[in-house]
A and B are shown apart, each in its own frame.
Chain A
């Protein structure tokens, strides 16, 4: 019924997902991933599944980036320690 809207949001999701794969740096990947979460929530909404969209928003917009960023921070800190202690 709302074909143009679904097409536009599908294109958004496709573009964001491609960007999330193409970007190499994990920090920037986390940024793209957070936008991908919002785009997926939009897709679920236009597909008339707002309950799925709600859980996608709750997980994708804040929780996934937080996990990725905390992991990156920990890995970086460990690498920094390794370099500092290396002879």
Chain B
């Protein structure tokens, strides 16, 4: 157990634990936001785990999650557009906080990795993570309903 896995333990326990609570209770608009944030919180955790175990191959898990997590949220945003249109979620504060957390993790790992292909890969994952998260949040807060009606 080193500092990386300790940080991952705390971040996963608190962050993903909070999203589990959010997705299991409350109104529908809170549940979809929690589902979106669960993938955005687990992805930096996987990056920290890859660094903590000293196995760069584990980064591929974070890459797949950064790519497919927003896709899953877009599925919900598209198929629940009618339910969400009456009561759209507005959770930009939490969304930006989680995006900032992802950015901090990616930048710290970049600083540790040093320049090279591995750092570019980390930056690609970070861009996918934050961009996908923001696109999915925008779709949840009414992007689909607006584009269909407007």
Chain A residues with Cβ under 8 A from B102's Cβ?
A: none
Given contacts A12-B13, A32-B24, contact A1 B1 (CB under 8 A): yes
Minimum C-beta distance from A24 to chain B (A)? 12
Contact pick for A62, options B49, B71, B83, CB 8 Å = B71
Tally chain B residues at the interface, Cβ within 8 Å: 40
Chain A residues with Cβ under 8 A from B72's Cβ?
A: 34, 61-62, 65-66
Chain A residues with Cβ under 8 A from B53's Cβ?
A: 48
Chain B residues with Cβ under 8 A from A4's Cβ?
A: 1, 9
Q: Across the two chains, which residue of chain A brings its CB closest to B58?
A: A50
> Interface majority SS on B: helix, strand, loop or mixed?
helix
Could you tell me which A residues sit within 8 Å of B by CB distance?
1-2, 4-5, 8-9, 11-12, 15-16, 19, 22-23, 27-28, 30-32, 34-35, 38-39, 41-42, 45-46, 48, 50, 53-54, 57-58, 61-62, 65-66, 69-70, 73
Could you tell me which B residues sit within 8 Å of A by CB distance?
1, 5, 8-9, 12-13, 16-17, 19-20, 23-24, 28, 31-32, 34-35, 38-39, 42, 45-46, 49, 53, 55, 57-58, 60-61, 64-65, 68-69, 71-72, 75-76, 79-80, 83
